[in-house]
Copies of this chain bind each other. A is one copy, B any other.
């Protein structure tokens, strides 16, 4: 299988802990191309549709697209300006929507697209009104778009709790949350890429 993993080197959003682990796993038995903002096999700015299209033109055809990328601003509700919300809307929300809109035309038959969100969609914490919002939007988008993508193609989203490798950096934001072991993190993506489910929100919360 040929995979294109966007953010697979951890250079797009987050701290890269998920992208690196997922990429290492799939690279064992598959051809993996990594798209990064500046490094990787191909460069992409997911806030720019033309950049997304150029990325697919350089990597076509692929069997599976995995997006582990996208940003949103974290700040207290009263500090977030209207413009601050558009950081997340343009990157993590519309960036992933555009990956599906454009990417569906570059996938091999029976290919899959896997997006990424997180537990904030269902169980937010303080400072995450913007991040929670874009995650929840993607959950509903995936369920809706899965009804209309080409027959045989699959679209899912992985929604993880705070992951083990990020625990030290993020634990103060997530009081009482239980870290998700990295083995489970990898398995969430394996379930989407190698399983047969379509339109699923693959929630791995502890």
Contacts of A139 in B (CB 8 A): 136, 140
**Which residues of A from 76 to 114 have beta carbons under 8 Å from B?**
76-78, 80, 82, 85, 89, 93-94, 97-98, 101
Task: Describe A's contact surface by its main secondary structure.
Answer: helix
Q: A133-B138, A136-B139 are in contact. Are A148 and B97 (CB under 8 A)?
A: no
Contacts of A141 in B (CB 8 A): 129, 132-133, 136
Q: Are A94 and B82 in contact (CB under 8 A)?
A: yes
CB distance from A45 to the nearest CB of B (A): 14
For residue A117, which residue of chain B has the nearest CB? Answer: B140
Q: A49-B82, A85-B94, A98-B82 are in contact. Are A140 and B144 (CB under 8 A)?
A: no
Q: Are A133 and B140 in contact (CB under 8 A)?
A: yes
18 more CB-based (< 8 A) A-B contacts, given A134-B137, A139-B140: A49-B82, A77-B144, A77-B145, A77-B149, A82-B94, A85-B94, A89-B93, A97-B133, A120-B140, A120-B144, A121-B140, A123-B143, A124-B147, A126-B147, A132-B141, A132-B144, A136-B138, A136-B139
Residues of A bordering B, CB below 8 Å = 49, 76-78, 80, 82, 85, 89, 93-94, 97-98, 101, 120-129, 131-141, 143-145, 147-149
